[in-house]
Amino acid sequence: MKKIMPLFLVGILVSMLLTVPVSPAIGLIENNKTKTNNINFCEDNLISLYQPNTYNNPLNGKSNIENEITNSENYGRDEVVDQQQTTFCYYGWGVYDNQWIAQSFKPCLNVITKVELYLFKQGIVDGIQITVSIRDSLNGGDLTSISVDATIIHDEPWWIEFDFANTFTTPGKTYYIVTRGPEIEEGNGVYWGYNKYNPYENGEAWCAFSPEFDWHLLNYSYAPECDCCFKTYGWDDPPNIPTIEGATKGTKGIEYNYTFSTTDYEGHDVYFYINWGDDTTSGWIGPYSSGQQVTVAHKWHNEGKYLIEAKAKDTYGEESDWGTLEVTMPRSKATSSSLLLRFLERYPLLNRLLQRINIL
């Protein structure tokens, strides 16, 4: 009996802990599935908590279609990852009709094309949809939004794409990825994975829940300084073709300075790659500010014509076409004069004639 009672008491305490809410309306659930290869994980021993609610959600933002642009306006630009938080601690916040989860971020690009969220499901989610929108304030209208069938969400955490209408953004301004779901029965639901201790410095995770629907930071003793797992995508233009300025004629063995410059449409920092035409390159050098003039020295060791080529790339890896400048390394003046003098020694009359007319 002495051995049985302690185990019995422990069982009661654990049961009570699993059913007592740590904070109202927060659905927090642990995912114990197999690790995936496309995300970094952290180890945790947090207690799994789950507490659904049944209130109606009054936050119905209206779409701001003036901010939407069509794919035909892409002009061949590339879609790249702009902002991201890809570390996960095995837990996720429940997304319900009465509990909305949001993540703020600051874009560097001026267009957002889609987002990917790290989601997983529990129980049965047939026939329900998850809606994701972009806002420039938590209580404002949707700049763009899209809903997807929850059946595409896996039991294991996975990146789920929400490809909404391309929307203009202001680089450096705070925006919000807002998620909401339908009313569902207890034990079923969709969860948005997150990590703790501020893994994304340019934003925070937020929650609004019944009955007041006031937004507050997801920052608790058991889950401090949360950031949800997300990726935002946008269009990125490559830098302009670099200009090259410097001497086009010179002498072998003498070092010459050449100035390289380019501008990036979004104002991103740039790198240069220089091919000197003599089987040597600079490799990627930088970063430099958009529009900054960069001076690089080079010398050629043999006579001949050389084509300097330079291209630029921005911080997203988008590369420009090549800029070029042709240079010539003729024979040195001393060498040319020496050959001319030897020639005139064989023709003294021509030598005197040239001296008389002041050519020599």
pLDDT reading at 122 higher than 50: yes
Q: What is the reported pLDDT for 279?
A: 96
pLDDT reading at 24 higher than 90: no
Q: Picking from 43-57, 69-83, 147-161, 262-276, which range would have the lowest pLDDT averaged per residue?
A: 43-57
pLDDT reading at 98 higher than 50: yes
Q: What is the reported pLDDT for 231?
A: 97
Q: What is the DSSP letter of 145?
A: E
Q: Picking from 73-82, 94-103, 192-201, which range would have the lowest pLDDT averaged per residue?
A: 73-82
Q: Tokens for 192, please give them.
A: 């948005």
pLDDT reading at 181 higher than 50: yes
pLDDT reading at 200 higher than 50: yes
Helix (H) and strand (E) counts for the chain? 3, 26
pLDDT in tens, 311-326: 999 998 999 999 999 9
How does DSSP assign 272-316, residue by residue?
EEEE-SSS-EEEEEEEE-TT--EEEEE--SS-EEEEEEEEEEETT
Count other Cβ atoms within 10 Å, centred on residue 46.
13
Could you tell me the strand order of the sheet in which 68-69 lies? 68-69, 166-168, 111-112
Q: What is the reported pLDDT for 349?
A: 74
**Which band of pLDDT confidence, cut at 50, 70 and 90, is reported for residue 126?**
confident
How does DSSP assign 199-252, residue by residue?
S-TT--EEEEETTT--EEE---SSS-S-EE-EEEEEEEPPPPPPEEES-SB--T
Structure-derived torsion over alpha carbons of residues 181, 165, 170, 86, reported in degrees to the nearest 10: 50
Angle value at C-alpha 64, between 59 and 65, nearest 5 degrees: 140
User: Which residue in 108, 101, 120, 150 sits closest to 29, CA to CA?
Assistant: 120
Q: What is the reported pLDDT for 127?
A: 82
Backbone angles phi, psi at 58, to 5 degrees: -85, -5
| Average pLDDT value over all residues in the chain | 79
* Structural element, H or E, at residue 161: strand 158-162
pLDDT reading at 4 higher than 50: no
pLDDT in tens, 277-310: 999 999 999 999 999 999 999 999 999 999 999 9
pLDDT in tens, 35-89: 333 333 222 322 233 333 322 233 333 333 334 444 444 555 789 999 999 999 9
Nearest-angstrom CA–CA distance, 345 and 349: 9
pLDDT reading at 19 higher than 50: no
User: Which residue in 185, 127, 123, 180 sits closest to 151, CA to CA?
Assistant: 127
**Which band of pLDDT confidence, cut at 50, 70 and 90, is reported for residue 1?**
very low
Residues in the chain: 360
Q: Picking from 87-96, 105-114, 261-270, 351-360, which range would have the lowest pLDDT averaged per residue?
A: 351-360
> CA 112, 160, 78, 72 torsion: positive or negative?
negative
User: Which residue in 316, 322, 324, 309 sits closest to 265, CA to CA?
Assistant: 316
Q: Are 339 and 289 in contact (CB under 8 A)?
A: no
Domains of the chain plus CATH, in order, are 22-236 (no CATH), 243-332 (2.60.40.10)
Q: What is the reported pLDDT for 348?
A: 75
Q: Which residues contact 278 (CB under 8 A, 6 or more apart)?
A: 300, 301, 302, 306
Q: At what angle do helices 348-356 and 333-345 cross, to 10 degrees?
A: 120
**Which band of pLDDT confidence, cut at 50, 70 and 90, is reported for residue 5?**
very low
Q: What is the reported pLDDT for 337?
A: 59
Nearest-angstrom CA–CA distance, 2 and 8: 11
pLDDT reading at 193 higher than 70: yes
Question: Residues of the chain with pLDDT > 70: what percent?
Answer: 72
* Structural element, H or E, at residue 8: helix 4-19
Q: What is the reported pLDDT for 162?
A: 96
Residue with more model confidence, 114 or 336: 114
Q: What is the reported pLDDT for 128?
A: 87
